[in-house]
Amino acid sequence: MFGPDGAKPAPMLTISNLDFRVEARPLFEAASAQISAGWKVGLVGRNGTGKSTLLRLIREDVERPSNDAAIKLNQGARLGWVAQEVAPTSDTILDVVLKADTERHALMAEADTATDPMRIADIHTRLVDIDAWSAEARAAEVLMGLGFKTADLARATREFSGGWRMRAAIAGVLFSQPDLLLLDEPTNYLDLEGAAWLEGYLKRYPHTVIIVSHDRELLNRCVTHTMALEHRQLSICPGGYDAWLRLRAAKTAQLESQRAKQEAEKAHLQAFVDRFRAKASKARQAQSRVKMLERMQDISIPLAERTVPFTFPAPEEQLAPPMLELQGADLGYGQDARILSNVELRLDPEDRIAIVGTNGQGKTTLVKSIAERLPLMAGKRLAPRAIRIGYFSQDQLDELTLGETVLDHVRHALPDDTSVARQRAIAAAMGFSHEKVETKVEKLSGGEKVRLLLGLMSLDKPHVLILDEPTSHLDIDSREALIYALNDFRGAVVLITHDVYLAEATADQLWLVKDGRAEIYEGDLNDYRALVLQADREPTKPKDGAKRKKAKGKKTPKAAAPVSTPAQKADARRRASDARKAAAPLKKKADEAERRLNTATRRIEEIDADLAAPGLEAGVLQDLMRDRAALSADVAKAEEDWLAASEAYEKAISEAG
């Protein structure tokens, strides 16, 4: 990456031969990397590999190795990071952010007391240079981008929760605009709207950024380079997370090809040695090949770290639509704290809902009411008595029983099953090894606690999964595994998340919670994203007729035409649900054809591998070719059946809409 004049940018940060370990566990071994000024770098790697430790080493929060020159920051560069949440004091949120620019704050204070005319002139010149007079407007812009309202700016920090004070801390470091900005999972404290704003801000940020994030879309949209921490080494490539994945796959394929060639060469040399070692006339050549074998260095391919999948078993019995309805419901707390009014929403089997809306509007209130964790203040909640709902919330991390192990929690969840072997098998399916099941929950990482809670929730085989910010402690690979599990789940999913990639890959309908209302949003996440990036962050519905686009990785049903009343909307959804139920045999036929297609395709691949083997006998070759021809015909027939059934199913659904 070069500047406008063709010169290579100066290095902002240089890491050279870094060795570092925590207790007996090595995190870095001769790791090296160089980050140029102006780069936006996404630092990626599995949980526990040392990403946050690297940021702490850069900040000198932990004692650096004896080779202190291993981490070198450009001389004179200002370093900025979010140390902790803003303290609860009488200072206003706006004042706290303004103080984060320490140079401006010091100059403004000195300007009030300075008496030397020359010094006063210097102060005012410098204040002009750093654009000090627009500071309040710039600070307000950052705060409002992160979700604060105009009225919040004059409120004391003690009036805000810890999560909002953390947002203020993020606003402070963004406002101060350091030369090297370090951000460690900043979207954990933001809603989807705040994350979208932060992404745009980082794109425009004039200096260097290193961001640790498991938000795939953020890493794809706003970074210029990706720095990967794998196998205790650092590597940098241009582009976002997906670009790095492609490069890693290409490197692995190249290594595998080189190793295959090396193995073939070794086999050839070894065969020569074995054949001629004992013959005097060939002894010299044989010995020469032995030395060649000894000089060969094995080509090692880094082992891919396996991610344990999530599993959500299908409910044992299917429920007819509508599975759950809220009719004229008022939602809130107690008698007076009404949050949402006159809610008219319906949930059908296999619905995939993402709930959007800024923090504090009532998203969690809505899902708690659906899950019967909050009683309705008015209206009706209609659901069959047999319905089972699995509910996950970040708050539940604190509900795990301290001092008890993973196995203890599984045992409590299965009071009627006294088989220790079965309890251990269930814990293993959740992703906990034989040793890990004896670990006390307070020793688990955040991601492991999430796995445990999701696993315990699924034991009841619920008809509905309600997940309120499930990904805050999950790395990218675990989030990918969660997406696969949710798409495979044979029930309904209701999701609150700031992870755009997760929402796009799983949801086919949005519910918007805003201004005391909860309604179906007739657009997709791209429409909603465009709206929340507006300066006022006050999203409204798209114009009538806005089309629902296809969610990433998932076919999205055709959007119903706009209707004028909640009753008409509910009737339209009911008709669509009934049409899906009537068309279920067509869907089953398409799924069966797809399974036949996959089975035949896999068998053809196996036969092709057998055909490539040397020394096939003529009879075996003929049998394989005959089987392959028959399977090719099966593939063609399965493709034809799948296409016909799929088109018929989609036509039936479309006509019903």
Q: pLDDT tens, 437-474? A: 888 888 888 888 999 999 999 999 999 999 999 988 88
Is residue 123 within a helix (H) or strand (E), and if so which, with residue range? helix 117-129
3-state DSSP percent of the chain in helix, strand and coil, to 5 = 50, 20, 35
Q: The domain at 11-245 falls in which architecture?
A: 3-Layer(aba) Sandwich (3.40)
Burial of 634 (0-12, 13-18, 19+ CB in 10 A): middle
- Taking the C-alpha atoms of residue 457 and residue 454, their distance in angstroms, rounded to an integer, is 5
Q: pLDDT tens, 2-17? A: 444 555 567 899 999 9
Is residue 19 within a helix (H) or strand (E), and if so which, with residue range? strand 11-22
- Copy the structure tokens of residue 55: 């940021």
Does position 297 have pLDDT exceeding 70, yes or no? no
The DSSP call for residue 208 is E
Report, as an integer, the average pLDDT of 133-154: 88
CB 649 within 8 A of CB 579: no
Supply the pLDDT for residue 551. 37
**Cut 0.75: pTM above it:** no
**Number of Cβ within a 10 Å radius of residue 247:** 16
Q: The domain at 324-403+440-564 falls in which architecture?
A: 3-Layer(aba) Sandwich (3.40)
Q: pLDDT tens, 636-656? A: 787 778 777 777 777 776 665
User: Strand ranges (DSSP E) for 474-629?
Assistant: 492-496, 509-514, 517-521
| Residue that has been written with the tokens 């002009």 in this structure | 128
Does position 327 have pLDDT exceeding 50, yes or no? yes
Q: How confident is the model at residue 399 (pLDDT cuts 50, 70, 90)?
A: confident
CB 517 within 8 A of CB 177: no
Supply the pLDDT for residue 283. 58
